[in-house]
A and B are shown apart, each in its own frame.
Chain A
Amino acid sequence: MPFWDKLKGNERDNSEEKQENEPERNGSAAPFGLELLITIVEKNKAEFYMDMIQAYEVNFQFSAPAHGTAKAEILNYLGITDTDKAVIFSVVREDKLDDLAYMLEQKFKTVKNGKGVAVSVPFTSMIGTSVYAFLCNAVNTVKGDE
């Protein structure tokens, strides 16, 4: 029996009765894959993008101050005065990633001074069921440290 079924107290093999929002993941114990989304944006837009990302069932994210590497002569040529950026690290569910990426793409194109870059890196393992449930926002699936 999959480890995940034990966590839910579900003794039967219900692979055919999986809920719609729990994708089959090739026998993995965890119903949702998680990825680390790294978003690099202008410093003053970090909060805006964090709010946007949070709407996609993202419970954990943090940002770090950073700066770009463009050379001074290029900045002077383009009339840009600062290269301050923010790097936002967000833990995102795999099944939400396509929608989130589409939203970010639209925002990068349309928001004034809102251009940025985002990449995602998949998680390969994790320890702690309640932490996992928190990160994938599985509020109805895992209760406490059962």
Chain B
Amino acid sequence: MNEKEYEMIFCIINAGFSEEVMDAAREAGARGGTVIRARGTAGKEAEERFSITIHPDKEVLMILVPKDIKDAVLEAVYKSAGMGTAGQGIAFSMAVNKTVGLQ
């Protein structure tokens, strides 16, 4: 069991952009990630209000990083696939209590 402080970064991006995001995250110091397929639920009302098109097929990219590089990875993710890009991604991090299996 590892007590070193880690954070889990979740990136919700349009399907097909996970490699691009992961490349950016690697450059900022991340080692690897796991991708889950998902589906967005934003309604038509939101699409009209914000004049954006919601791509329903999504990918959730989970990247576990040490706390000290979290900001750099988040920034890299935002630059490569933020809301202003084709990836239309959002990213957030959560502090994790315990980690097992990391070396």
CB within 8 Å of B: which residues of A?
35, 38, 40, 64-70, 85, 87, 97-98, 101-102, 104-105, 108, 115-122
Contact = CB atoms under 8 A, between A and B. Distances in A.
Is the contact region of chain B dominated by helix, strand, or loop, or is it mixed? strand
B98 interface: yes
Is the contact region of chain A dominated by helix, strand, or loop, or is it mixed? strand
B65 to A, nearest CB: 11
Contacts of A35: 97
Contacts of B96: 119-121
Contacts of A102: 1
Nearest to A104: B100
A119 B8 contact: yes
Q: Which residue among B33, B35, B100 has the maximum number of chain A CB atoms within 10 Å of its CB? A: B100
A101 B1 contact: yes
Interface residues of B, number: 24
B102 A117 contact: yes
Q: Which residue among A64, A98, A116 has the maximum number of chain B CB atoms within 10 Å of its CB? A: A64
Q: Which residue among A67, A108, A119, A122 has the maximum number of chain B CB atoms within 10 Å of its CB? A: A119
Given A87-B62, A115-B101, 11 more contacts: A38-B62, A66-B34, A66-B35, A68-B32, A69-B19, A101-B98, A117-B100, A119-B100, A120-B96, A120-B98, A121-B95
